[in-house]
Amino acid sequence: MKVAFFSTKEYEADAFKGAPSAGIHEITYLPHRLDPVTARLAQGHDAVCIFVNDAADAETLDVLKQAGVKAVALRCAGYNNVDLKRAEELEIAVVRVPAYSPEAVAEFAVGMIMTVVRKYHKAYNRVREGNFLLSGLVGFNLQGKTVGIIGTGKIGMLTGRILSRGFRCNVLAYDPYPNKVDADEAGITYVSDLKDLLKQADIISLHCPLMDSTRYLLNAETFPLTKEGVVIVNTSRGGLIETNALIQNLKNGHVAAVGLDVYEREGEYFFRDGSGTIMHDDVFSRLLSFYNVFLTGHQAFLTNEALSSIAQTTLENLSNVEQGEACKNAVKG
């Protein structure tokens, strides 16, 4: 297949060119983010390959259909940026990478917890400036603390396992579809009500997909249910947290620290260098101004192992579509 590869970064191109199935498909690497305007660049291609912040909404899909595109290959697990109903109406296949390296994200989530709790980032900056004072760097032990895992897919389960077996935390989890066998092995205890988790957790780590039922899971109504001084980490999707409500709870001191690898309106800023430009998102600017907010640019997945797995699975998905075979990673509306 001829594939238009949108939002290309050099590390992705290197991974796809080095994959075992490299060469099977003809790939055009494009730096542009997919949207209704750039979708015209897919003219003459059979498929597009997109990432988390590319827009495959109804308008974009209509343009892709007119360009002759038959498939949308997501090189990620989430698919909330694709209008699945419209894709089905246009007979455009949608495939994804449901699991690449859950260890990569789980390990990053734990590292982010350690960073905000023990203030590694602040200590690093101080020492670089010759400041070796320890005031303001007091943290707390993870051992014995209660960690709430919301969402127990592969990543959430692994995160909970590391914290339970490695740090000896008391790990609680909430998931509408609990996996008790794996949870027991990982040392995780399910609660039947999300409110119970929010009330008990010293640290909350989010690991669920972004859907209508999970959008703004943490909001103006649910933040007050959490413990005073709670620590929150989100390596999943930015839309799980209502940012304005988070800011209010940072201002009043209810939330002690936050680690974010995602932001609900990250598409305009993430995966590009904006250091020489003005940030026009006032909410994002306010969030970044807090001393107790640690933010990275959707980096949790970024390991050699994950990139290799993403590339190979995506190429195999495209081969399934090309050959008219059933694809186990197909996404339906």
Residue 70 exposure: Cα atoms within 13 Å on the Cβ side: 13
As beta bridge partners, residue 13 has: none
Annotated catalytic, 254? no
266 is catalytic: yes
- Among 12, 242, 264, 266, the one annotated catalytic: 266
Return the closest-CA partner of residue 92 out of 125, 110, 65. 65
User: Which residue is catalytic, options 237, 242, 264, 316?
Assistant: 237
Phi first, then psi: what are they for 190, rounded to 5°? -80, 145
Q: Token digits for 231?
A: 């620590």
**Active-site hit among 25, 45, 207, 298:** 298
C-alpha triplet 128, 129, 132: angle, nearest 5°? 85
- The CA-to-CA distance between both ends of the chain, in Å, stands at 24
Other Cβ atoms closer than 10 A to 97: 22
Q: Annotated catalytic, 298?
A: yes
How many angstroms separate the CA atoms of 1 and 322, rounded? 7
Q: Would you name the residues annotated as active-site residues?
A: 237, 266, 298
